[in-house]
Amino acid sequence: MRDHETQIQEAGATLAAIGLGDANYARLFREETGITFPLLIDEQRRAYTAADLRKGSLLHLFRGDNFAARKEAKAAGHRQHTLGSDPFQLGASFVFAPGNRDVFAHVSETFGDNASVVTVLAALADRGGTGEKKKGP
Amino acid sequence: MNLLPVDFDGITPPMSPDTLSAALAPIELPDPDGQEVRLGTLWEAGPVVLVFLRHYG
């Protein structure tokens, strides 16, 4: 998502991220990637718990879609940085708007399951919140 | 015997937030420099794409 920050800004939004791990992990990540958007640290998993985010399992590592996602990320020039405190934690992407309005949600169901920037930009274009609202069973 | 919590004023029962963003809004998290940020400030003035990272990468 960080490669598309300019498009997100052009759509009238900002980008921010939350990670597990500690300040050293986060500082290193910020330095290595050169990101300038807010990066917050959730060592106690308060936000992850409030958002009810899932965890993967060893079986997920060997799924074909995970392999394909890793291959795609590598081809795009990304490399996996430090895993942080919980390698099985799964991520999510949300779009929130003023007034505590939930516009978009994509909660990862496995390791390679990330929101596409196309769907995020579509949700930003359609602030009514009728874009993808993906949340697992 | 008083069965009510001591901080319950008897008028306004605590309400649970009705959106995820409302639930997340009061949570304060530090940035890598130790500056505390209340999550709700991220979408106070405009929409935010908030990504929960699986790992720093």
Q: Are the C-beta atoms of residues B49 and A17 closer than 8 Å to each other?
A: no
d(CA B24, CA B32): 19
Q: Is A15 on the interface with B (CB under 8 A)?
A: yes
d(CA B57, CA B42): 22
Q: How far is A137 from chain B (nearest CA, A)?
A: 17
How high is the pLDDT of residue A21? 83
How high is the pLDDT of residue A60? 59
Q: Is A30 on the interface with B (CB under 8 A)?
A: yes
How high is the pLDDT of residue A87? 74
How high is the pLDDT of residue A80? 54
d(CA B1, CA B50): 47
H/E run at residue B43? none
How high is the pLDDT of residue A3? 81
E strands within B1-57? 28-30, 36-38, 48-52
Q: How far is B2 from chain A (nearest CA, A)?
A: 31
> pLDDT-based confidence at A55, cuts 50/70/90?
confident
d(CA A107, CA A105): 6
Please state whether the predicted TM-score (pTM) of the whole model is above 0.80. no
How high is the pLDDT of residue B42? 98
Average of per-residue pLDDT across A69-95: 69
